[in-house]
C-alpha cells in the first residue's frame, strides 16, 4: 500500500439485514486530501463513514483505515488516529462540561493530564469556545454543540477526519470557523471525508467529490467538475458558483473570494450605465 | 387578528445569567411564512420554544411578559394544544415517539392518541407520507432511518395534523435538494391555506425566496423586520445581525475591491437579481 493512503475501501458490500446499502464500493483517500461525500437522503453516506470508523463491518470486501484492516476492530481501536463527528452530536457527548467533553478522548487514550489540558485549551481557542469551557454541552444551542463535537474529533490530532454534516444549522460566523479549521487540518496533511448537503462548504474547503447513488459510487472527481454537472444528480450549485457560471466570469475557482474578485473586475471594466437605478423591487 | 403574539416577553434559562429573549413584542400573522434569522445564541430557538409553551414548562427558566397562541396562553393550555401546533425541533432524532415500530406508525402516533377514527388516521397518514416523499419508508423502523429520512418523518408526523401553527427549527437542515424543495413547498401550501408558519433557519439562500417576512434577532431582540428582498439587500443586516445571502455577500466582498455603483447597496439577494444587475 502506498504510504499516504489513509482510507482504502476495496469492493465493499454492506446490508442492514436484508436491505443492501452499499455494493462494490471502492474508494481511496490519501493524506492531505479533502473529500466530499454527496448523495440524496438514504443513499448510504453515513453508513460508508461508519464502515471507515469500524462501527460497522462489510459483509464483503475490505476496509483499511490508517493502515489497519477494520476486521475485528471497533471504533475505540481507531480513536487515536481517526476523528469522527456524528450527524447528531448528542450521540457523542457524555460529559458535564465542554472542557471535560473535549478531554474525554485524550483521557481514554491515556494521555498525561498536562497534555490533555494543553490540547483542550488549544482546541477551545481555535474553535472560539473558550467562553463556554465550563458550560454543560446541553445548555448550549444545538448548533454550538456541533462545534463542541467537532472539537472532540479534532483534539487527538487525527490522521483521518470524518465529518457527518459539519455545517448543519450553523450561522455564517461558525461556518467560517469550521471551514478555516478543517482547511488547516487538511493543509497539515490530515485526510478529510465529509458527508454534506452543503455544496458551498464542499467548494470552499474540499478538493474532491464522491457521489453515492443506488448503492454505488456514481461519480468521483474534482469537486468543481462533479458539481458543474451535478444537476442530474440533484446536487445544487451554490449561489456564487451558479452566478459565475451564468455570467461567464473569468474566475480562478468557484470559491466565493475568487468569484468576488472576478465580479469586481467585471464591474470595473464595464462601469455602470449612467441611467442605471436599482429596480423598485429592491 | 394576530394569532400568535408576544408582548414584552423576556426569557432566561436557569443555567444562564442573561436574558436570551429580551423584551420581545411581535405579532405573527396567519397566511405568512415568517423566518427567524439570527446568529447563534440570538434567541430564535427559544422564541419557538416559548411560543409552543415548552419553555419554561419543560426547559425550566423564567418567563416574563405575555404570549398568546390562538387566543390562549400556551403555558396554561397544556395538552389542549396537541393537534394545533406542529413543532419540528433541530434534533429530529430526539423527537421520535420511541415506541413506533414503523415510519407509518410514527406518523399515525399523535392522531391515534387524539382518538381520531381509524379511517381518518389512515388517509391522513398516507397523505403526510406522500407530501414528504417517503411512502417507500412506510414499513421501515424509524431506528434504521438516515438523518434526512428521519427529518422528513418528523415533519410528516406534524403534517398529518394539519396544524394551525407551525413552529420549525432548521426543518430542512439534513435534507437533500429535492427534499428541501418539497418541504418548503409544503410550508408554502400550509401558509396559503391560512396556517401561521414560523421558521428559524440559517439557510438564507433558500429562505430569501421562500419566506414572506424575515425577523432578524440579535441578543434576544428583533432588530430588523420586513420583506426578505428588502431586509437582506441592506447593510444593516451585516452590521446588526447574521449577514445575508451568498449573493449579497458576494456583492459586498466585490465592492470592497472596486468602487462601483453596480456593487453598492441595496445588493442583489438572489442569483436571479444578480444576473439582472451584472449581466
pLDDT digits 0-9 by tens, A144-174: 999 999 999 999 999 999 999 999 999 999 9
* Average pLDDT of every residue of chain B: 94
Q: Give chain A's mean pLDDT.
A: 92
Check B94 against A90: CB less than 8 A apart. yes
Q: What mean pLDDT do residues A13-30 have?
A: 95
Alpha-carbon distances of A110 from A66, A106, A107, B75, B90, rounded to whole Å: 20, 6, 5, 48, 35
pLDDT tens-digit profile of A235-279? 999 999 999 999 999 998 999 999 999 999 999 876 555 444 444
Average pLDDT over residues A109-134: 96
- The Cα–Cα gap between B52 and B163 comes to 12
Nearest to A139 among B13, B251, B276 (CB): B13
Q: Which three cell numbers stand for residue A8?
A: 482504502
Beginning with the edge strand found earlier in the chain, give each strand of the sheet holding A34-38 in spatial order. Answer: A82-85, A160-164, A191-195, A34-38, A208-213, A216-222
Give me the DSSP letters along B103-117. HHHHHHHHHHHTT--
Q: Do B13 and A141 touch (CB under 8 A)?
A: no
Q: Strand, coil or helix: what is B204?
A: helix
Calculate mean pLDDT across residues A58-69: 97
Q: What is the DSSP letter of A273?
A: -
Residue of B nearest to A233 (CA): B177
Region B41-49 average pLDDT: 96
DSSP symbol at A18: T
Query: Residue A121 has which C-alpha cell?
Result: 485549551
pLDDT at B270 over 70: yes
Which pLDDT value is given to residue A78? 97
Instruction: Judge whether residue B123 has pLDDT over 70.
Output: yes
Task: Summarize the confidence of residues B42-52 as an average pLDDT.
Answer: 96
Comparing alpha-carbon positions, the chain A residue that sits nearest to B169 is A169
Q: Which residue of B has its CA nearest to A16?
A: B144
Give the span between the Cα atoms of B176 and A91, in whole angstroms: 22
Nearest by CB to A260, which of B170, B254, B270? B254
Q: Which of A140, A171, A176, A250 to mutate to test the interface with B (most CBs of B within 10 A)?
A: A171
Asked if A277 is an interface residue toward chain B (Cβ–Cβ < 8 A), one would say no
CA distance A2 to chain B (A): 33
Q: Do A264 and B229 touch (CB under 8 A)?
A: no
Residue of B nearest to A246 (CA): B275
Residue numbers in B near A46 (CB within 8 A): 146-147
CB spacing of B152 vs A257 below 8 angstroms: no
What is the ipTM for the molecules in this complex?
A: 0.91
Q: Strands of chain B (E only): list them.
A: 4-12, 21-28, 33-37, 62-69, 85-88, 165-169, 196-200, 213-218, 221-226
Contact B273 A282 (CB under 8 A): yes
Pairing of strands A82-85, A160-164: parallel
Q: Determine the Cα–Cα distance for residues B184 and B211; give it in Å rounded to an integer.
A: 9
Q: Which residues, other chains included, contact B78 with Cβ-Cβ below 8 Å and sequence gap of 6+?
A: B53
Name the residue among B16, B144, B173 with its Cβ closest to that of A169: B173
For residue B267, which of A263, A275, A238, A241 has the smallest C-alpha distance?
A: A263
Q: Cα separation of B70 and B254, whole Å? A: 46
**Burial annotation B138-175 (CB, 10 A radius, 16+ → b, else e):** eebebeebbbbbbbbbbbbbbbbbebbbbbbbbbbbbb
The C-alpha atoms of residue A170 and residue B203 are separated, in whole angstroms, by: 9
| Nearest CA distance, A27 vs chain B (angstrom) | 21
Q: 3-class SS at B100? A: coil
pLDDT at B92 over 70: yes
DSSP run (H or E) holding B212: none
Beta bridge partners of B6: B26, B67
Question: Is-contact B213 B33, C-beta < 8 A?
Answer: yes
- On the question of pLDDT at B51 being above 80, the answer is yes
Whether A88 and chain B come into contact, CB under 8 Å, resolves to yes
DSSP three-state, residue A36:
strand
- Across residues A103-122, what is the average pLDDT? 96
Contact A234 B178 (CB under 8 A): yes
Please answer whether residues B45 and A141 qualify as being in contact, where contact means their C-beta atoms are separated by less than 8 angstroms: yes
Cross-chain residue pair A239–B250, CB shorter than 8 Å: yes
Tell me how far apart the alpha carbons of residues A61 and A120 are, in angstroms, rounded to a whole number. Answer: 38
Amino acid at each position: 500500500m502506498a504510504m499516504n493512503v489513509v482510507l482504502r475501501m476495496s469492493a465493499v458490500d454492506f446490508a442492514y439485514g436484508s436491505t443492501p446499502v452499499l455494493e462494490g464500493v471502492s474508494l481511496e483517500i490519501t493524506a492531505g486530501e479533502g473529500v466530499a461525500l454527496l448523495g440524496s437522503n438514504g443513499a448510504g453516506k453515513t453508513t460508508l463513514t461508519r464502515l471507515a470508523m469500524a462501527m460497522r463491518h462489510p459483509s464483503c470486501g475490505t476496509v483499511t483505515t490508517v493502515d489497519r484492516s477494520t476486521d475485528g476492530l471497533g471504533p475505540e481501536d481507531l480513536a487515536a488516529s481517526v476523528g469522527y463527528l456524528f450527524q447528531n452530536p448528542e450521540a457523542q457527548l457524555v460529559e458535564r462540561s465542554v472542557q471535560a467533553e473535549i478531554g474525554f478522548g485524550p483521557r481514554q487514550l491515556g494521555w498525561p493530564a498536562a497534555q490533555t489540558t494543553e490540547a483542550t485549551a488549544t482546541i477551545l481557542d481555535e474553535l472560539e469556545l473558550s467562553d463556554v469551557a465550563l458550560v454543560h454541552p446541553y445548555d448550549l444551542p444545538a448548533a454550538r454543540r456541533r462545534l463542541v463535537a467537532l472539537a472532540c474529533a479534532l483534539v487527538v490530532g487525527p490522521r483521518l477526519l470524518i465529518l457527518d454534516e459539519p455545517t448543519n444549522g450553523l450561522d455564517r460566523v461558525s461556518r467560517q470557523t469550521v471551514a478555516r479549521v478543517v482547511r488547516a487540518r487538511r493543509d497539515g496533511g490530515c485526510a478529510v471525508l465529509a458527508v454534506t448537503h452543503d455544496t458551498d462548504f464542499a467548494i470552499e474547503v474540499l478538493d474532491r467529490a464522491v457521489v453515492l447513488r443506488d448503492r454505488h459510487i456514481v461519480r468521483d472527481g474534482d469537486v468543481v467538475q462533479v458539481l458543474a454537472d451535478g444537476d442530474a444528480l440533484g446536487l445544487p450549485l451554490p449561489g456564487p458558483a451558479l452566478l459565475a457560471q451564468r455570467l461567464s466570469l473569468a474566475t480562478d475557482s468557484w470559491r466565493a473570494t475568487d468569484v468576488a474578485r472576478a465580479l469586481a473586475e467585471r464591474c470595473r471594466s464595464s462601469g455602470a450605465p449612467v441611467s442605471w437605478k436599482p429596480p423598485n423591487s429592491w | 387578528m394576530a394569532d400568535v403574539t408576544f408582548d414584552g416577553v423576556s426569557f432566561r434559562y436557569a443555567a444562564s445569567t442573561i436574558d436570551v429573549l429580551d423584551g420581545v413584542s411581535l405579532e405573527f400573522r396567519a397566511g405568512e411564512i415568517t423566518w427567524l434569522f439570527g446568529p447563534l445564541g440570538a434567541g430564535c430557538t427559544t422564541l419557538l420554544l416559548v411560543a409552543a409553551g415548552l419553555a419554561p414548562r419543560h426547559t425550566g427558566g423564567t418567563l416574563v411578559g405575555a404570549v398568546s397562541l390562538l387566543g390562549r396562553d400556551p403555558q396554561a393550555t397544556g395538552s389542549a394544544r396537541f393537534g394545533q401546533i406542529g413543532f419540528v425541533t433541530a434534533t429530529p432524532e430526539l423527537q421520535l415517539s420511541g415506541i413506533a415500530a414503523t415510519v407509518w406508525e410514527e406518523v399515525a402516533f399523535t392522531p391515534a392518541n387524539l382518538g381520531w377514527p381509524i379511517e381518518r388516521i389512515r388517509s391522513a397518514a398516507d397523505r403526510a407520507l406522500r407530501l414528504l416523499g417517503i411512502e417507500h419508508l412506510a414499513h421501515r423502523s424509524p431506528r434504521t432511518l438516515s438523518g434526512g429520512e428521519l427529518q422528513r418523518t418528523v415533519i410528516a408526523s406534524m403534517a398529518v395534523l394539519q396544524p394551525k401553527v407551525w413552529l420549525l427549527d432548521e426543518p430542512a437542515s439534513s435534507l437533500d435538494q429535492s427534499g428541501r424543495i418539497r418541504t418548503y413547498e409544503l410550508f408554502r401550501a400550509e401558509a396559503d391555506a391560512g396556517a401561521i408558519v414560523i421558521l428559524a433557519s440559517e439557510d438564507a439562500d433558500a429562505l430569501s425566496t421562500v419566506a414572506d417576512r424575515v425577523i432578524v434577532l440579535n441578543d434576544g431582540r428583533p432588530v430588523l423586520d420586513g420583506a426578505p428582498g428588502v431586509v437582506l439587500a441592506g447593510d444593516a443586516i451585516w452590521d446588526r445581525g447574521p449577514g445575508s445571502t451568498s449573493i449579497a455577500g458576494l456583492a459586498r466582498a466585490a465592492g470592497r475591491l472596486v468602487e462601483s455603483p453596480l456593487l453598492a447597496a441595496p445588493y442583489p439577494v438572489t442569483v436571479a437579481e444578480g444576473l439582472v444587475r451584472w449581466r
